[in-house]
Structure 1
Amino acid sequence: MKSSTLFRQRYIQVIFAVILGICFGHFWPDLGRDIKPVADAFIKLIRMMLAPLVFSTIVLGIASHSHRHGSSVASTLFKSMGLFYFLTLLALLSGWLAAALLQPGVGWHLQTATIDRHLLPALSANPAEKGVTGFLMQIIPTTFVSAFTEPEILPVLLLAMLTGFAIAHAKPTSDHVLKLMDELGKIFFSIFDVIIKLAPLAAFASMAFTVGQHGIQSLAGFSYLILSFYLACTAFVLLVLGGLARWHGFSLWKLIRYIREELLVVLGTSSSEPVLPPLLQKLQTLGCKKDVSGLVLPMAYSFNLDGTAIYLTLASLFIAQACDIQLSNTQILSLIATMLLTSKGAAGVSGSGFVALVATLGIIPDLPLEGATLLLGIDRFMSEARALTSTVSNVVVCLIVSIWEGACDRKLLQQQLDRA
């Protein structure tokens, strides 16, 4: 492949952008901090399109699936949710095991009275005060339109599922609605294709800001915690996801090579949201039927955030160790049970994992909320691993559910992965 052709590949552009961003932020930190709005603008553009994309994709997936397979859409939803919670539980246990074995917080002897709680503006107020009931109520939008204007994606999921079932039960008059929804989806994907071309620029700005704001040297004091988290994520991907992939007859390593371009975009932007549309298209290329993959993958983005789940247990137990708090087995089990809820709905944008952590600490009285301030400076360096882990997990889940439902061409899947 010629060098000019190679550089046209988006993943190569993102790699160069990340390297240039690190150098720029290191040598010109002030300018690096100043160009943060470029990365923020990219994420805002992505979020602008995410709600209509998710809505049209899920509506089309449910309605089409119901038309072709009758009531089996309920089976698909049930299997998907069961797998989501199973993997979330394993991810939470992975974070707990990593914290127990590596003990990244031991020896800190942190006094919470010396911590300024006001360093957590706007993060601690809402989730902590709402509690579990408030979190569940957030899923229901105030109005039909408000679901598309609110930052949370869960209301859009609820609305899309209700609309999809309603269209499915309105046959045969719903055929023209399905055709309209399919055409709208194509338009949304076309708009997204234009936006995603800005990914290398966003990756450059994001890395320049991160290094300019915190400095490479800021990693030194927290390097063991960051290493522990990356090891926990790697172990989860290789052992849990790799085992599931092997059990279902495909190679995780080949799958990662197949979606490497999308993973590099996630790495550069610290967000999994920009790659949702291209992953949907790649899953169809792998042989997954559109009505199943279009239903499962968008749901996974809110219900299967395994990177965030690993972060929640590891970060919480790090805070306990740093504050010399001994948690009993009952307290740890209670913590994990709570995180099965608070890990859901945190959209794959950089910083959402930290918000979920604050929400968890606000509900659990055994750990000091002030301890979360320890992670403020390094959260950006951990968000890449969260987003990458969740992205790989979501693709694996979608393939597995498609295989369960007989909606995946296994021969085509193998052929495409062998070419990767």
Structure 2
Amino acid sequence: MENVKKKDNIYIRVIKNLTFWVLIAILAGLLLGHFAPATAVKMKVVGDTFIDIIKIFIAPIIFITIVLGISGMGDLKKVGKIGIKSLIYFEIVTSIALVIGIVVGLVIKPGKINKEGLNIQDASQFINTPKKEFSWWHFLQDNVTLQVLIVAIIVGIILNYSRHREVAVSFLSKCSKVVFIALKYIMYLAPLGAFGGIAYTVGKFGVVTLMPLGKLMLTVYVTMFIFIFFILGSILRYYKISIVKFIKYIRAELLIVLGTSSSEAALPNLMEKLEHMGCSKAVVGLVVPTGYSFNLDGTSIYLSMAIIFLAQLYNVHLSLGEIITIIGLLMVTSKGAAGVTGSGFIILASTLTAIHKIPVEGLAFLLGVDKFMSEARAITNFIGNGIATIVISKSEKEFVTVGDPFEENTL
């Protein structure tokens, strides 16, 4: 009887899992695109509608996230040099991650099926405004996203020095919860978006278009593996700590992250283990929670690579100036992607809208594999934050060990 109940519970969990329905939607879209391409092409409106709904959230999420991030820096001033050093470290490492994602994407070309991409010679047909040469002035003048970003930075700085900061932050925090709850429910429509995107793509361009998705997944996983063991590993090696030993030390927490696709559930245990390892309580208390918003290495790699992937998929050439612009935008906007379902798509949509050259509709194509890459992003983010805490502790001489720092305890 108990075994029957356990099986029933498993079936219920599977049916309630959004990934399950995304998979069903992908399969349905694939079959429709293959066997009834004319009908499948008409499903474009389904994927487009989902993307249009997502785009509604761009301005409020960017504004609230940036304002809260900057105005909250008033708290970091209390810890002085440690807070500033943490932010500098976060920005440097995540920038390296962004650049690596773009470079690997440009070298491996996961979005290229052939020399013609998806055989779309002019991607501007997907964009409502006339195609024109890139210029910084038009870039600022024509893009609401960037305007919101600039206003948010100014408001955040003003609030940081305002005596009404706490009241404003409290209000914006409540607004943030409402917006993200709304986004959470909107993401339940993700299977429809995935269905529309896959059905249209396969119906118009054939089953061969699924090959780049598999290539993108493999490229993302390999890139994050390299980033963890070579970039983060080199940083730890400078402080005479083994990346392999550190990963073994937090393996239980990594399993939690793997199971939940989010680093949030394992953060308390990570903080305890870092203290046991030798990091001071003050540094752990500052760096880990702050890093959860500002130090998202895995997310940075994925976001930059996804944009290059979509550009290749639609055969869009990006100039060096546009690539630098993408990196600059993601350096700021990626800081709002912490553990919130759908936030990655908001960041991608806002960046694509800002550069106004790559079809935003391509996001529906990514819905099919995004769930399968969330584990890699979360694990890379988690390891990166643990290493950041060790680095700041070591550099501030706030790291004290007695015996082997990786000695197992009762955690």
1:101 aligns with 2:107: yes
Correspondence for 1:254: 245
Counterpart-to-counterpart distance in 2, 1:305 and 1:377? 22
- 1:135: how far off? 4.7
Per-residue displacement from partner, 1:228-253 (whole Å, max 9, x unpaired)? Answer: 11111111111100000111111111
Tell me if structure 1 keeps the 8 A contact 2:245–2:406.
Answer: no
State the one-letter code of the partner of 1:289.
S
1:90 aligns with 2:96: yes
Counterpart-to-counterpart distance in 1, 2:124 and 2:381? 35
Tell me if structure 2 keeps the 8 A contact 1:256–1:392.
Answer: yes
Correspondence for 2:333 among 308, 333, 342: 342
1:77 aligns with 2:83: yes
- 1:412: how far off? 4.7
Correspondence for 2:149: 132
State the one-letter code of the partner of 1:102.
I
Counterpart-to-counterpart distance in 1, 2:364 and 2:220? 17
1:361 aligns with 2:361: no
Tell me if structure 1 keeps the 8 A contact 2:91–2:295.
Answer: yes
Tell me if structure 1 keeps the 8 A contact 2:249–2:406.
Answer: no
Correspondence for 2:374: 383
Counterpart-to-counterpart distance in 1, 2:266 and 2:147? 31
SS in 2 for 1:249: coil
Counterpart-to-counterpart distance in 1, 2:363 and 2:91? 25
Change (3 A) 1:240 1:368: same
Identity of aligned residues (%): 34
- 1:382: how far off? 1.2
Tell me if structure 1 keeps the 8 A contact 2:322–2:355.
Answer: no
Tell me if structure 2 keeps the 8 A contact 1:152–1:347.
Answer: no
Correspondence for 1:165: none
Tell me if structure 1 keeps the 8 A contact 2:263–2:382.
Answer: yes
Correspondence for 1:143: 168
Correspondence for 1:242 among 214, 220, 233: 233
1:226 aligns with 2:251: no
- 1:133: how far off? 2.3
TM-score (norm 1): 0.63
- 1:414: how far off? 3.0
Correspondence for 1:193: none
Counterpart-to-counterpart distance in 1, 2:118 and 2:298? 27
Correspondence for 1:32: 14
State the one-letter code of the partner of 1:312.
L
SS in 1 for 2:389: helix
Change (3 A) 1:364 1:298: same
- 1:136: how far off? 3.4
SS in 2 for 1:222: helix
Q: What are structure 1's unaligned runs of at least 5 residues?
A: 1-16, 38-57, 67-72, 118-125, 154-208
Per-residue displacement from partner, 1:309-347 (whole Å, max 9, x unpaired)? Answer: 101110000011011111122221121111111111221
Q: What are structure 2's unaligned runs of at least 5 residues?
A: 1-5, 20-71, 129-142, 160-165, 179-189, 196-206
Correspondence for 1:372: 363
1:287 aligns with 2:278: yes
Correspondence for 1:397: 388
Tell me if structure 2 keeps the 8 A contact 1:346–1:356.
Answer: yes
Per-residue displacement from partner, 1:50-75 (whole Å, max 9, x unpaired)? Answer: xxxxxxxx99x969xx6xxxxxx321
Question: RMSD of aligned C-alpha atoms?
Answer: 3.9
State the one-letter code of the partner of 1:83.
Y
Change (3 A) 1:78 1:93: same
Counterpart-to-counterpart distance in 1, 2:155 and 2:340? 18
Per-residue displacement from partner, 1:261-282 (whole Å, max 9, x unpaired)? Answer: 1111111111111122221111
Tell me if structure 1 keeps the 8 A contact 2:336–2:343.
Answer: no
Instruction: Give runs of aligned pairs for residues 299-310 of structure 1, distance below 5 A.
Output: 299-310=290-301
- 1:366: how far off? 2.8
Correspondence for 1:330 among 288, 298, 321: 321
Counterpart-to-counterpart distance in 2, 1:297 and 1:274? 13
State the one-letter code of the partner of 1:396.
I
Change (3 A) 1:342 1:326: same
Tell me if structure 2 keeps the 8 A contact 1:237–1:389.
Answer: yes
